[in-house]
Structures are given as structure tokens and as C-alpha cells.
Amino acid sequence: MKNTVQQISIIGSGNVAWHLAVNFINIGVKVSHIAGRNVKHVDLLCKKTAATHAKSISDLPKHQLVIICTPDNSIATICESIDSSCPVAYTSGSIDIESLPHREHLGVFYPLQTFSKHIELDLNQVPFFIESTNEVFTQDLFILASKITDTVTLANSKERSELHLAAVFVNNFTNHIIHQAQQYAESKSIDFNHLIPLLKETVHKLDLDSAFNTQTGPARRGDDVIIQKHVERLDNNAKELYQLLSKSIKETYHDQL
């Protein structure tokens, strides 16, 4: 293998590809080529990183690490298209490495974080999880990740899948609940900024204690009168979410009510 740490290619131009490419450049790892379906986005990322726009996967340099930053359903097909001389890593949290076409050097380079192109992110605080079918390649990926972050961990596919599921609760579901709160606030002419300190304190408490111990609110107290008043003001998805979450909270603390 050549240039597995010093020089790489990237497939994809979405949020993860954008942040990784920029960070690779910042740590002195050259991104030589970028390929992807969205020509406009690939062009923008190439300009940002001084990379070459590879018009097809076959144009990527041989014997050079390729990192796949694409949706899960395209990873297997892309793996088959990459020259066999190239070590390949992908950034998915939920794809089992054994489910992909066999390669001599196939690995996982999974950053456990939510990414948005327009929001800067310090990857030094992001945990990376590494897996590979090859012991030497595992070490290569571990070293590469260590140049980006202080937290690098080896994790097999099962462990990574469990992490990804927990992450969906922590990030995706939490974000959607906040979206529902923003919509409700807007419908009632409430300035959502008044709720930001509450949101920040909710997360800050996790530095001090468990979510179980810091739970508050009408469902935690078993206050069915307040719960019913709230339910009557809501409709559609917001109503269903409120009822489902209140039920879950009450069942979690039923011994303490």
C-alpha cells in the first residue's frame, strides 16, 4: 500500500465528505481527487481543497486510500467499482463490513457526529471508530484518525451498529423534537430564543449526572391534569409524540410516582 496516510481520494461531496476533506487538508494530508454524483458540489469541494475532480471512480489514483462518504445504500456498489489496488474505507455507522464485497484492504472510518456543511466543527472533539479486515490497514486508519481527533477507538460492526442506533436517539430524534417545539412556538408567536437557555442546561446537566436522575416535568411527576391540558392544545405528529414520550417517562418512573 502507498500513501494511505499522506494522500487520499474521497468519493462523495455531502456533509461528511466536506468536513473530512477540509480537516485532512488542515492536518497536512493531501486530498488529491474527489469523485461524486453531484458535479456542482464536487466542484465546490475541489476548489476548497485544491483537489482534482475525478469524473468517474475509474479515474481515481491506484494504490491510494479511498474514503467513501456516501449514503449507505450505495457503498457496496461503489466498493466494487474501485480498483483492487486501492485500500478502501467507508464512513457509515450501520453497514456491516462483512456484508460488503471482499477486498484485501477494507475498513471503516466512522466519525460519530452530526455534520452540516455550513456549520464549522472541531473534529478534535469527535470520537472516531475504526474497523478493518486487515490488521495493518487497521493501524493505518487508526493513525490517520489520530491526526484528526484525540478519541479513536477500535469497534467491530456490531458495536458500531449499536453506537449508531443510540446516536439516532441522541441526535436525530432530539433534533426532530426541537423542530416540533420550534413549530409550536412559531404558531403561538413565541420567541424560541427564550427556550435556548433551557435546552443548553438540559445538555449541560449530562456532564454532571445521568439523564435518568435529571428528568423533570409533568410526566416525571405523574401530573395527568397538566398532561391532558397539553395534549388538548396539540394535534397531528406533535400530539402523538407528546403522548408517546409522556407514557414512556411515566413508565420509566412508575415506582417513584
Per-residue 3-state assignment (H helix, E strand, C coil) for 138-205 = HHHHHHHHHCCCCCEEECCHHHHHHHHHHHHHHHHHHHHHHHHHHHHHHHCCCCHHHHHHHHHHHHHH
- H or E element, residue 53: strand 52-53
With the C-alpha atoms ordered 125, 126, 131, 136, is the resulting torsion angle positive or negative? negative
**What is the average per-residue pLDDT within 197-206?**
96
- CATH number of the domain located at residue range(s) 161-256 in this protein: 1.10.1040.20
194-203 CB contacts, 8 Å cutoff, 24+ apart: none
pLDDT at 2 over 50: no
Query: Mean per-residue pLDDT for 102-124?
Result: 94
The CATH number assigned to the domain with range 7-155 reads 3.40.50.720
Would you tell me how many other CB atoms lie within 10 Å of the CB of residue 203?
A: 9
Residue 257: pLDDT band with limits 50, 70, 90? confident
Q: Where in the chain is the domain with CATH 1.10.1040.20?
A: 161-256
Give the residue-averaged pLDDT of 186-211.
97
Cα 204 from Cα 200, distance rounded (Å): 6
Q: Of the candidates 227, 251, 15, 197, which has an alpha carbon nearest to the alpha carbon of residue 121?
A: 15
The pLDDT assigned to 197 comes to 97
Q: What is the pLDDT of residue 3?
A: 41
Confidence label for 5 from pLDDT (cuts 50, 70 and 90)? low
Which residues 6+ apart lie within 8 Å of 189 measured at CB? none
SS3 74: helix
Nearest to 95 by CA among 169, 17, 164: 164
DSSP label of 7: E
Sort strands 152-154 and 128-132 into parallel, antiparallel or unpaired.
Answer: parallel
In this prediction, residue 6 carries a pLDDT of 85
Give the number of other Cβ atoms within 10 Å of residue 53's Cβ.
Answer: 16
Q: What is the mean pLDDT of residues 159-173?
A: 96
Distance from C-alpha of 202 to C-alpha of 88, rounded to nearest angstrom: 40
In the chain, ranges of CATH 3.40.50.720 domains: 7-155
Average pLDDT (181-191) is 97
Residue 178 confidence (pLDDT): 97
